[in-house]
Chain A
Amino acid sequence: MIIPKEIKQKPVEYILLSLIFIIGFFLYIFINNSQSRIWIVSGVTFSYFGWSLYHHQKRGDLHTSIIIEYLLIILLGLVFLLFDPFAIF
């Protein structure tokens, strides 16, 4: 199985990121309240962005282009979710 070098080098960072997504998803499933769900998704999104800044700052390649890439991925995910006609928000 191929494991990316950066995951091998910084396993704690990736375990932390995985935990953010897993906990966020399970909280979303089990908390059946639209207001709380908005907070959960916002929390996961901000955590992901925070993680990316920390991760690239540590790696020494925190460039504007990389920040823009993260912001676009986050924006794409959020727009899809917020405009999803099936979302219970």
Chain B
Amino acid sequence: MLKKLWIHYFIPQEKNNHRAAILKPNFLLLFLVLYLLNQSIVKSLTIAKPGILGYSSEITAQKVLDQTNNERTKLGLTPLVYNSVLSESAKEKADDMFTNNYWAHNSPQGKTPWTFFDAVGYKYSTAGENLAKDFYNTDSLVKAWMNSPTHKANIINNKYKEIGIAVVNGTLGDVKTTLVVQHFGTPLMATAQEIISQKSDDIVVPEAVDQSSTQEITSQANVLSENKEKLISPLTLSKIFSSIIFIVLIITLFIDGFITVKNNIHRFTGSTAGHIGFLFFIFLIMLFNQQGSIF
């Protein structure tokens, strides 16, 4: 019975008019409907029961800091020093995005990133901001930033001396998500000190800032790990579902093509090789796409 079904759906033969049944238009339509249904269910669940499908995240401020500094070190740049005041401004930015339900550098109320630096009293000569959401791990997040010229420019900007990071879970656009905000800065004081140090050939290391910040990172990481018991990411679910459908289709096309070529069957259907090429192109793009989005 199972064998019959397998042959009917996946193997081209006389009974199915020499075309695997799942490659016929009605089944292709069924795949489309199933996929859209899956998307709707996942979306509805995240809205109706945020606790069921929360965006889990292994991202911590410490990991983001380490990987950001790794990228700088690779290029021979000095690592950024963690600053808890900058982290506070980053956290306020993330909270503001959740509260006012937006995803941008400038808020609908007209707040710019600099508003948050000023609000926490961080006096800077140069400053910058990187944003990210919906990422499942720190590796893919930092990789996405490094692949984007504007975000990379912030990460490897030699003018910046300090960094603050906020990793905050919340609900944006009715969907649970994790926002990551990086605030970069060069304190005015440091600029002045740099001028003095250049004159005296001496290097100034802001040790006090570094020590206080270590504690701050640890506490932030702990808060995140409490939220980590969340469950399965709907993004991952959708990704798995669509990948399965794609892989099944591509494998069936391969089997279908192989058998028809082997048996020298002529039929009026589209080009199997062409379909494989197109679906494989789409599949590669889907694999290549990073998790989440950056701003």
Q: Which A residues contact B (CB, under 8 angstroms)?
A: 2-7, 14, 17-18, 21, 24-25, 28-29, 32, 41, 44-45, 48, 51-52, 55-56, 61, 63, 65-66, 68-70, 72-81, 83-88
Which A residues are CB-close (under 8 A) to B291? 86
B189 interfacial by beta-carbon distance below 8 Å: no
B274 interfacial by beta-carbon distance below 8 Å: yes
Nearest CB in chain B: distance from A49 CB, A: 9
A63 to B267, CA, bound (A): 12
Instruction: Point out the residue from B235, B258, B270 that lies within 8 Å of A69, measured CB to CB.
Output: B270
B289 interfacial by beta-carbon distance below 8 Å: yes
Which A residues are CB-close (under 8 A) to B258? 2
A10 to B173, CA, bound (A): 51
Of B7-15, B27-35, B76-84, B207-215, the one touching chain A: B27-35
Which B residues are CB-close (under 8 A) to A84? 238-239, 242, 286, 289
With A55-B271, A72-B29 already in contact, the answer to whether A86 and B290 are too (CB < 8 A) is: yes
Which A residues are CB-close (under 8 A) to B269? 66, 69
Chain B 254-295 interface 0/1 with A at a Cβ cutoff of 8 Å (1 = within): 000110011010001111111101111110111011111110
Nearest CB in chain A: distance from B285 CB, A: 6
Q: Are the CB atoms of A63 and B285 closer together than 8 Å?
A: no
Which B residues are CB-close (under 8 A) to A48? 274, 277-278
B134 interfacial by beta-carbon distance below 8 Å: yes
Q: What are 11 A-B contacts defined by CB distance under 8 Å?
A: A4-B273, A48-B277, A63-B268, A65-B25, A68-B25, A69-B28, A73-B270, A76-B32, A86-B286, A87-B286, A88-B290
Q: Are the CB atoms of A85 and B261 closer together than 8 Å?
A: no
Instruction: Point out the residue from A51, A80, A85 that lies within 8 Å of B35, measured CB to CB.
Output: A80
Which B residues are CB-close (under 8 A) to A3? 261
A69 to B239, CA, bound (A): 25
With A69-B25, A76-B28, A85-B235 already in contact, the answer to whether A51 and B286 are too (CB < 8 A) is: no
Q: Are the CB atoms of B268 and A65 closer together than 8 Å?
A: yes
How would you classify the secondary structure of chain A's contact residues: helix, strand, loop or mixed? helix
Nearest CB in chain B: distance from A3 CB, A: 8
Q: Are the CB atoms of B270 and A66 closer together than 8 Å?
A: yes
A79 to B269, CA, bound (A): 22
Instruction: Point out the residue from B234, B282, B289, B292 that lies within 8 Å of A77, measured CB to CB.
Output: B282
A80 to B202, CA, bound (A): 58
B191 interfacial by beta-carbon distance below 8 Å: no
A76 to B39, CA, bound (A): 14
Chain A CB count within 10 A is highest, among B149, B258, B289, for B289
Nearest CB in chain B: distance from A77 CB, A: 4
A62 to B147, CA, bound (A): 43
B282 and chain A: residue at smallest CB distance: A77
Which A residues are CB-close (under 8 A) to B272? 4
A85 to B240, CA, bound (A): 12
A48 and chain B: residue at smallest CB distance: B278
Chain B CB count within 10 A is highest, among A4, A24, A78, for A4
With A65-B268, A66-B270, A86-B235 already in contact, the answer to whether A25 and B285 are too (CB < 8 A) is: yes
A55 to B278, CA, bound (A): 15
A70 to B282, CA, bound (A): 14
B148 interfacial by beta-carbon distance below 8 Å: yes
Q: Are the CB atoms of A81 and B262 closer together than 8 Å?
A: no
Q: Are the CB atoms of B148 and A32 closer together than 8 Å?
A: yes
